[in-house]
Amino acid sequence: MPEAPSILDGVRERFAESTDFTVGLEEEYQLLDPESMVLVQRFEDIHDSAPDALRPHLAGELITSEIEYKTNPHASFAGAARDLVEGRLALIRHAADRGVATAITGCHPFSIWQDQRIIDTPHYERVAGELGYIAWINNTWSQHLHVGIRDADRAVRICTAMRSVLPEILALSANSAIYMGRLTRLHSTRTSLFTRSFPRCGVPDPLMDFAEYADFVSLLERTGSIVESTQIWWSIRPHHSFGTIEVRIADGQTDMGEALAILALSYALVARFADDYDAGRPLPAHPGRLIEENLWRAQRHGLEGKMIDFERGEERTTADAVRALVDFTAPVHDRLGLGPFLEGIPVMLEHGNGAQRQAREFTSGGDLVAMHASAAERTRRSAEEALELIGMVSTT
């Protein structure tokens, strides 16, 4: 009998053929009843009835009250950003025509997981069958960034470096402070529901080259732990099919400008670490126990807390830690056309991110249904506003 194909077949070759800094963006949407703002099981309807130009970009996630938009691969961040903005607006219009509202927050503030249905695909049926309750409660929404990186060894080493900055990205993106009708005291409740619950999730061990990564994946495959690479749910991972680095730590963003700012900073970090690797400069490979400490601080306090500066062994405000990453990546901003998108970060640091807005509204006595209706409106309106930004930026 011929040998069965391996999860690792062709992966090194795909990275060898990858083009540096090509970019793809993904974001996930809640499907909602426009009056009650509860989640509704309408994925199949929204997907199958979508116009021909929109349907190839739409994908299912774990539950049928969720839908994902995926951009095409683009040569520039600006091109991918335009695709994402236009895709958000096209999806919102299409869903509205079908009597469905859409919104993005890291988790739904009051719909219960018991009312949701697992999507009918072999992958997600396998996930639900294996994980049970852990999968059932994972009613979460996020955004993902894919960055093309040539050479598998280089990609794995950059993934290792990116581990150290995942907490800052999470803190900036925190957008899930309310769950099951309560203020959870976590700025990113999504992190508890998904990142802290799923196996092979969160921050991986530091890996120095593709061979070390492949040894681990081979072990998982040989021992029946996984049957496909996407069962490795790390918050930063090499993507086998695309030859990309995938950044998966961020909560989904209600505000389109904030989504683009977080994605642009993440993209800049990948590019800066790639430059350092190529120049022979040392890349960070901090122990997981240190990164986990900062990850907890990001999950709990978001932008309002402090983080450990690993190099100095002292605390600094999370806002200062984020500013340091903006400064660190400055050498790549102009080359990659990121300046206009990164302008949103100082605004977030001054005025607050999604989690801070949610907490302010809740503690001031805001009605949850009205609050989520406002989130749905901001999801749409901010995309319309972002079109003006995109119009001023070259997408070539």
Q: How far is CA 229 from the centre of its chain?
A: 18
In angstroms, the Cα distances linking 168 to 54, 295, 305 are: 33, 8, 11
Q: How far is CA 146 from the centre of its chain?
A: 10
How many H-runs (helices) and E-runs (strands) does the chain carry? Answer: 17, 13
Residue 366 pLDDT: 86
* Residue 198, φ and ψ in degrees, nearest 5: -70, 150
At residue 314, what is the residue type?
A: E
Name the CATH code of domain 11-391 (choices 3.30.365.10, 3.30.590.20, 3.30.70.890, 3.40.50.970): 3.30.590.20
Residue 2 pLDDT: 55
Q: What angle do CA 232, 236, 239 make, to 5 degrees?
A: 60
- How many Å apart are CA 169 and CA 11, to the nearest integer? 27
Using the CB atoms, write b or e for 230-247: b if 16+ within 10 Å: ebbbbbbbbbbebbbbbb
Q: Give the domain ranges of the chain.
A: 11-391
Q: How far is CA 52 from the centre of its chain?
A: 26
* Residue 217, φ and ψ in degrees, nearest 5: -65, -40
> Three-state SS for 158?
helix
- How many Å apart are CA 322 and CA 319, to the nearest integer? 5
Residue 392 pLDDT: 67
Closest by Cα among 258, 234, 229 to 246? 234
Residue 3 pLDDT: 60
Q: What is the pLDDT along the chain (396 residues), one digit of tens a residue?
A: 556 689 999 999 999 999 999 999 999 999 999 999 999 999 999 999 999 999 999 999 999 999 999 999 999 999 999 999 999 999 999 999 999 999 999 999 999 999 999 999 988 999 999 999 999 999 999 999 999 999 999 999 999 999 999 999 999 999 999 999 999 999 999 999 999 999 999 999 999 999 999 999 999 999 999 999 999 999 999 999 999 999 999 999 999 999 999 999 999 999 999 999 999 999 999 999 999 999 999 999 999 999 999 999 999 999 999 999 999 999 999 999 999 999 999 999 999 999 999 999 999 998 999 999 999 999 999 999 999 888 767 666
338-341: Cβ within 8 A, 24+ apart: 338/77, 338/264, 338/267, 338/268, 340/389, 340/392, 340/393, 341/77, 341/78, 341/81, 341/260, 341/261, 341/263, 341/264, 341/389, 341/393
Q: How far is CA 294 from the centre of its chain?
A: 18
